[in-house]
């Protein structure tokens, strides 16, 4: 903000400042609200709306203050006069705006003109009077002294100083209900390790070396190839992006019609064309969509390799499951898929099988990682391409629906009734802890009411 | 310490011979003293040599990364069609929080959300109807993190209490949600972010204590911790990759770090921002992630190229970006700022597509819905808005 303020005051490229008339007094080095808005539009190539918004923030932060109606830190895009705040009062100088300073300021206002205090200032004045009563004589004395010194200045200067102070205190003691622009949220940099970690000791450098060595060992891809990736991804997915391309029949948030959600629910009898097409983008798309996964299972059954998918699902359950059930799940996987003669024995290469069987002796969450990856890659590289060429998939594509666009309503201003839907949390009775441990396999989400 | 001098066999006379090499005093020392003395010497030498090695490796790494940077993003994106006029409006305004909204998350059902605020209230809404369905009052203020469980049956939240707690959602009127609360994560400073992994049973957290951690929900056991940030960690996001084992975090040390969840190691690190990183979010393909920072810029980091590939900034944007998220295709990046606005960026071309006004105070949180039909923004103005 200060950088912006400084360039606004640049003698050549900044805002042209003139004398502004405030009733009968002339205030030098001032500008109009319009000047500010116009300058911002020109300098940053932004719209009037954005310029006004930005200008308003600058005023709210006290970097520019109004000369007319100084009690309201608002930018008006008209002939209202404004002035730049003196750097002495900038928020970055972080003067501790003490109670004493505030008391003196309020006392000055009170003495100069009875009843000149704004509501919240009156309340604050009374509060302070109570709280720092012991120094009140000092407060009043300071106030009188400052007022006396001010009387010796030109009226124009007096007005400016008053407005400067008013703006400063509006920022530092905002009226109740007004946003406090100085509020930053909880303090950061609490972390003790900052001090410890920044000590560039041997451990620090050892870690750096380790990190660099690993990074060097990793293959990095040329920018031209990476960036091509974005172009390709963009081409593929933009038609599926409701915000970019709209969605059929309509976006529920815009038309209040939830048919789109009903037609794309996790399990529907007939999926939409876009959805079935998406299964062809990558194996990951197929397997993460519960409906796609179900179709994959059907296909694998035909190829007598359905156990691969079941194995993969069981491994996911292990990876994302409860810590206390790890040994149990590992054993179950072993019994079903890996033990010699198991009913759904999976075909893993001997090295991986050996490693896995060894690892099972001390079961942990990641013990199936290698085997799981092997089977995943098998499905991805082997079964998936065949799936895409299969009759099953071709039929799905042929039968997939393209929903017709919702006809524009005859009376668009009459809002359609917004129906509620059953919460996913309702699916299970509250006390049913057994089922509550939801695994990573697709959890059924309630169908939409039509 | 005893000093023994070797008897001088060749007396030195100035001008007559080259002086004999300085004889080192052979010190006869107690063993421990000797070790300490030599270690001290050793340490200084090693520190310096380690520093040199580290710096030379870093230099080589940078060189190689630069060498592979053969083209700029905007050059490649030239052939992509520019976006037309872009209109997004507030479709729902959720009012009900009594103070600043700090965080929100979507339910997988694409319409429910959970939101948390400064006054300790956590609310679950059906944002389509704007009905509130559940409310919990946390025992602390500044609930900066909240997350919806994948099953839709629970929520997690935390903040200045330094913890992450899981609340099962119940519709039973006789049951107080707070009664079934599970305290899962314990940090030594504020909780800044939390997220469930692929199931309801694991939570990943980020904290002001400079660490991230993975927890088992049922037992509260710490499964893995992630050390490496030099300051408060402010945000995290789980990778969408099919092998699902990494996540990215951003912190007050201006670094974004990518972690291996299994080993706890930092795989990649990026440090190009000039200030705190408030938000990180993966690009839908998982090959990149975006970040939003107090330096008023958003940036895109490519994981395969191992570098920053785009900066989203404008001279007129001078306030920090608090929260970022991609549209479904990754073509658009929505970013909420501390100047109360939301800027929409064309990810490929690097230009700003639109600016959305509406909030009356900082935008603190922003997430696109799971099916990409809308996005939700939460603000210090006490409200949440759904935009489509």
Domain boundaries, chain A: 1-89, 99-172, 246-399
**CA–CA gap between residue A366 and residue A159 (Å, rounded):** 73
Q: Exposed, middle or buried by CB within 10 Å (0-12, 13-18, 19+), for A368? A: buried
Nearest C-alpha neighbor of B380 from the set B113, B90, B118, B144: B118
Angle formed at CA A444 by CA A440 and CA A447, multiple of 5 degrees: 155
Question: Of B190, B197, B316, which is closest to A46 when you measure between CB atoms?
Answer: B316
Angle formed at CA B119 by CA B115 and CA B124, multiple of 5 degrees: 25
For A14, A56, B339, the CA distances from A34, given in Å and listed in that order, are 14, 12, 21
**CA–CA gap between residue A4 and residue A2 (Å, rounded):** 5
The whole domain housing B183 covers 74-387
Neighbours of A360 (CB within 10 A): 17
What average pLDDT does the structure give for chain B? 89
Q: Is B259 helix (H, G, I), strand (E, B) or coil?
A: strand
Q: Chain B residues with CB inside 8 Å of A261's CB?
A: 110-111, 371
The reply to whether residue B332 touches residue A243, judged by beta carbons under 8 angstroms, is yes
**CA–CA gap between residue B281 and residue B152 (Å, rounded):** 22
CATH number of the domain located at residue range(s) A1-89 in this protein:
1.10.10.10
Prior bond to B348 cis, omega within 30? no
For residues A143-152, average pLDDT: 92
Residue where the block lists tokens 């507030």: B90
How distant is the Cα of B293 from the closest Cα of chain A, in angstroms? Answer: 14
For residues A362-388, average pLDDT: 96
Q: What is the pLDDT of residue B23?
A: 44
> Strand pairing of B307-312 and B298-302?
antiparallel
CB A238 within 8 A of CB A244: yes
CB B240 within 8 A of CB B282: yes
CB A164 within 8 A of CB A89: yes
Report whether pLDDT(B236) > 70.
yes
Question: Of B50, B144, B234, which is closest to A209 when you measure between CB atoms?
Answer: B50
For residue B94, what is the DSSP state?
A: E
Segment (H or E) for B124: strand B121-126
In a domain, B2, yes or no: no
Q: Which residues have C-beta within 8 Å of that of residue B310, sequence separation ≥ 6?
A: B73, B299, B300, B347, B350
Question: Of B71, B80, B341, which is closest to A234 when you measure between CB atoms?
Answer: B80
| Tokens linked to B374 | 């809308």
The reply to whether residue A264 touches residue B171, judged by beta carbons under 8 angstroms, is no
**CA–CA gap between residue B165 and residue B145 (Å, rounded):** 10
Angle formed at CA A43 by CA A38 and CA A45, multiple of 5 degrees: 90
Prior bond to B376 cis, omega within 30? no
For A320, A356, B163, B165, B294, the CA distances from A324, given in Å and listed in that order, are 12, 20, 22, 19, 42
In a domain, B63, yes or no: no
CATH architecture label of A99-172? Orthogonal Bundle (1.10)
For residues A402-429, average pLDDT: 76
Which range has the worst mean pLDDT, A69-73, A136-140, B25-29?
B25-29
The torsion angle over the Cα atoms of residues B208, B211, B217 and B220, rounded to 10 degrees, is -90
Q: Is B134 helix (H, G, I), strand (E, B) or coil?
A: strand
| Phi (first) and psi of residue B312, to 5 degrees | -110, 105
Neighbours of A179 (CB within 10 A): 15
Q: Mind giving me the DSSP string for A288-353?
A: HSHHHHHHHHHHHHHTT-HHHHHHHHHHHHHHTS-GGGHHHHHHHHIIIIISTT-TT-----HHHH
Question: Of B69, B189, B330, which is closest to A191 when you measure between CB atoms?
Answer: B189
Report whether pLDDT(A352) > 50.
yes
How distant is the Cα of A220 from the closest Cα of chain B, in angstroms? Answer: 5
Q: Chain A residues with CB inside 8 Å of B238's CB?
A: none
Residue % of chain B over a pLDDT of 90: 76
Q: How far is CA A188 from the centre of its chain?
A: 18
Which candidate in A241, A365, A374, A447 is best for mutational testing of the B interface (most B CBs within 10 A)? A241
Which range has the worst mean pLDDT, A141-145, B112-116, B316-320?
A141-145
The reply to whether residue A316 touches residue B133, judged by beta carbons under 8 angstroms, is no
**CA–CA gap between residue A447 and residue A435 (Å, rounded):** 20
In a domain, B107, yes or no: yes
Q: ipTM value of the model? A: 0.90
CB A320 within 8 A of CB B149: no
Rounded to 10 deg, the angle between the B31-68 and A202-217 helix axes is: 40
> Cα-atom radius of gyration of chain B, to the nearest Å?
28
Residue where the block lists tokens 């209109």: B87
- B207: domain CATH number is 2.130.10.10
Say how many Å lie between the first and final Cα of chain B, rounded.
82
| Tokens linked to A220 | 């990095």
The reply to whether residue B54 touches residue A208, judged by beta carbons under 8 angstroms, is yes
pTM: 0.89
| Tokens linked to B311 | 């900066």
Q: What is the pLDDT of residue B270?
A: 96
| Tokens linked to B74 | 């905007």
- The answer to whether B310 contacts chain A (CB < 8 Å) is no
Q: Which residues pair with B300 in a beta bridge?
A: B290, B310
In a domain, B31, yes or no: no
**CA–CA gap between residue B22 and residue B4 (Å, rounded):** 14
CB A443 within 8 A of CB A436: no
- The answer to whether B140 contacts chain A (CB < 8 Å) is no
pLDDT digits (tens, 9 = 90+) for A52-78: 999 999 999 999 999 988 889 999 999
For residue A401, what is the DSSP state?
A: B
For residues B155-173, average pLDDT: 94
Q: Which residues pair with B17 in a beta bridge?
A: none
pLDDT digits (tens, 9 = 90+) for A339-350: 999 999 999 999
In a domain, B34, yes or no: no
The HSE-up count of residue B123 (CA atoms within 13 Å, CB side) is 24
In a domain, B287, yes or no: yes
**CA–CA gap between residue A256 and residue A415 (Å, rounded):** 8
B67 — pLDDT class (breaks 50, 70, 90):
confident
**CA–CA gap between residue A165 and residue A65 (Å, rounded):** 10
| Tokens linked to B60 | 């080589």
| Phi (first) and psi of residue A290, to 5 degrees | -55, -35
For A22, A258, A403, B327, the CA distances from A274, given in Å and listed in that order, are 65, 17, 10, 17
B contact residues 368-387, partner A, Cβ 8 Å cutoff: 368, 371-375, 380-381, 386
Question: Of A194, A322, A426, which is closest to B171 when you measure between CB atoms?
Answer: A426
pLDDT digits (tens, 9 = 90+) for A433-448: 433 334 444 333 333 3
Please state the domain count of chain B.
1
CB B350 within 8 A of CB B74: yes
For residue A240, what is the DSSP state?
A: G
The reply to whether residue A243 touches residue B327, judged by beta carbons under 8 angstroms, is yes
Residue % of chain A over a pLDDT of 70: 90
Q: Could you tell me the strand order of the sheet in which B211-216 lies?
A: B191-196, B202-207, B211-216, B222-227
For residues B285-312, average pLDDT: 96
Segment (H or E) for B183: strand B182-186
A·B CB contacts under 8 A: 326
More confident residue, B373 or A25: B373
Q: What share of chain A is helix, strand, coil (3-state, %, to 5)?
A: 55, 5, 40
Q: Chain B residues with CB inside 8 Å of A424's CB?
A: 107-109, 112, 151-153
Q: Which residues have C-beta within 8 Å of that of residue B351, sequence separation ≥ 6?
A: B345
Q: What is the pLDDT of residue A33?
A: 96
Report whether pLDDT(B38) > 60.
no
For residue A380, what is the DSSP state?
A: I
In a domain, B17, yes or no: no
Report whether pLDDT(B15) > 90.
no
Q: Chain A residues with CB inside 8 Å of B46's CB?
A: 202
Nearest C-alpha neighbor of B219 from the set B190, B186, B260: B186
Nearest C-alpha neighbor of A345 from the set A386, A295, A310, A297: A310
In a domain, B151, yes or no: yes
| Tokens linked to A20 | 């502004």
What average pLDDT does the structure give for chain A? 88
| Tokens linked to A24 | 């009968």
Which range has the worst mean pLDDT, A172-181, B87-96, B151-160?
A172-181
Q: What is the pLDDT of residue A415?
A: 67
B contact residues 176-215, partner A, Cβ 8 Å cutoff: 189-190, 197-202, 208-211
| Phi (first) and psi of residue A110, to 5 degrees | -65, -45
For residues B348-374, average pLDDT: 97
CB B5 within 8 A of CB B23: yes
pLDDT digits (tens, 9 = 90+) for A211-248: 888 888 888 898 889 999 999 999 999 999 999 999 99
Could you tell me the fold of the domain covering A246-399? Regulator of G-protein Signalling 4; domain 2 (1.10.167)
Q: Chain B residues with CB inside 8 Å of A44's CB?
A: 314-316
The HSE-up count of residue A43 (CA atoms within 13 Å, CB side) is 23
């Amino acid at each position: 903000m200060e950088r912006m303020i400084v360039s606004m005051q640049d003698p050549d490229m900044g805002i042209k400042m003139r004398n502004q008339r405030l009733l009968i007094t002339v205030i030098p080095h001032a500008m109009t609200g319009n000047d500010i808005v116009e300058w911002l539009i020109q300098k940053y190539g932004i719209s009037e709306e954005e310029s006004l918004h930005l200008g308003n923030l600058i005023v709210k932060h006290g970097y520019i203050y109004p000369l007319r109606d100084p009690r309201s830190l608002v930018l008006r895009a008209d002939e209202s006069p404004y002035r730049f705040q003196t750097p002495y009062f900038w928020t970055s100088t972080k003067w501790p705006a003490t109670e004493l300073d505030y008391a003196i300021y309020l006392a000055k206002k009170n003495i100069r003109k009875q009843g000149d205090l704004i509501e919240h200032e009156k309340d604050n004045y009374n509060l302070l009077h109570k709280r720092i009563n012991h120094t009140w004589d000092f407060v009043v004395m300071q106030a009188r002294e400052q007022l006396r010194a001010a009387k010796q200045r030109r009226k124009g200067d007096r007005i400016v100083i008053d407005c400067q102070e008013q703006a400063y205190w509006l920022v530092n003691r905002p009226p109740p209900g007004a946003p406090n622009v100085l509020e930053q949220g909880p303090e950061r940099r609490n972390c003790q390790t900052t001090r410890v970690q920044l000590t560039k000791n041997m451990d620090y450098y050892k870690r750096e070396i380790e990190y660099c060595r690993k990074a060097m060992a990793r293959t990095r891809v040329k920018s031209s190839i990476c960036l091509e990736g974005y172009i390709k991804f963009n081409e593929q997915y933009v038609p599926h992006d409701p915000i970019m391309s709209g969605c059929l029949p309509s976006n529920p948030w815009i038309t209040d019609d939830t048919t789109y959600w009903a037609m794309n629910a996790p399990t529907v009898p007939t999926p939409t064309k876009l959805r079935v097409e998406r299964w062809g983008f990558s194996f990951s798309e197929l397997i993460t969509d519960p409906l796609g996964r179900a179709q994959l299972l059907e296909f694998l059954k035909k190829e007598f390799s359905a156990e691969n998918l079941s194995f993969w699902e069981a491994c996911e359950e292990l990876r994302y499951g409860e810590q206390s059930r790890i040994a149990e799940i590992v054993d179950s996987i072993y019994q079903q898929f890996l033990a010699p003669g198991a009913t759904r024995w999976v075909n893993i290469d001997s090295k991986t099988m050996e490693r896995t069987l060894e690892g099972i002796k001390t079961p942990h969450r990641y013990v199936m990682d290698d085997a799981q990856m092997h089977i995943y890659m098998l499905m991805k590289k082997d079964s998936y391409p065949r799936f895409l060429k299969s009759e099953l998939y071709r039929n799905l594509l042929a039968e997939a629906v393209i929903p017709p666009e919702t006809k524009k309503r005859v009376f668009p201003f009459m809002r359609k009734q917004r129906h509620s839907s059953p919460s996913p949390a309702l699916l299970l009775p509250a006390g049913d802890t057994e089922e509550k441990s939801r695994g990573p396999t697709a959890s059924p989400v309630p169908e939409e009411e039509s | 310490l005893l000093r023994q001098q070797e008897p001088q066999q060749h007396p030195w006379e100035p001008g007559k011979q080259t002086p004999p090499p300085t004889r080192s005093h052979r010190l006869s020392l107690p063993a421990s003293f000797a070790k300490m003395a030599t270690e001290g010497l050793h340490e200084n030498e090693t520190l310096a040599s380690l520093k040199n090695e580290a710096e030379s490796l870093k230099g080589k790494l940078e060189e190689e990364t630069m060498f592979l940077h053969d083209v700029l993003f905007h050059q490649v994106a030239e052939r992509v069609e520019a976006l037309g006029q872009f209109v997004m409006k507030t479709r729902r305004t959720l009012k009900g929080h009594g103070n600043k909204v700090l965080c929100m998350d979507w339910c997988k059902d694409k319409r429910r959300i959970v939101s948390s605020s400064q006054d300790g209230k956590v609310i679950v809404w059906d944002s389509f109807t704007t009905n509130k369905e559940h409310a919990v009052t946390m025992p602390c203020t500044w609930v900066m993190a909240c997350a919806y469980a994948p099953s839709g049956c629970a929520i997690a939240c935390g903040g200045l209490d330094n913890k992450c707690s899981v609340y099962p959602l119940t519709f039973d009127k006789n049951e107080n949600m707070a009664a079934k609360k599970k305290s899962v994560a314990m940090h030594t400073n504020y909780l800044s972010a939390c997220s469930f992994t692929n199931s309801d049973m694991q939570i990943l957290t980020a904290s002001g204590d400079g660490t991230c951690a993975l927890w088992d929900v049922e037992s509260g056991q710490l499964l893995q911790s992630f050390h490496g940030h030099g300051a408060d960690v402010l945000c995290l996001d789980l990778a969408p990759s099919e092998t699902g084992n990494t996540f990215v975090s951003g912190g007050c040390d201006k670094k974004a770090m990518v972690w291996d969840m299994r080993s706890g190691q930092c795989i990649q690190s990026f440090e190009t921002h000039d200030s705190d990183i408030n938000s990180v979010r993966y690009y839908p393909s998982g090959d990149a992630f975006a970040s939003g920072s107090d330096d008023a810029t958003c940036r895109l980091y490519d994981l395969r190229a191992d570098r920053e590939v785009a900066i989203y900034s404008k001279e007129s944007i001078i306030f920090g970006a608090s929260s970022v998220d991609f549209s479904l295709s990754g073509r658009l990046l929505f970013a909420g700022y501390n100047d109360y606005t939301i800027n929409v960026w064309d990810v490929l071309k690097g230009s700003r597509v639109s600016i959305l006004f509406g909030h009356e105070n900082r935008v603190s949180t922003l997430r696109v819905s799971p099916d990409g039909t809308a996005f939700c923004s939460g603000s210090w103005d006490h409200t949440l808005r759904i935009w489509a």
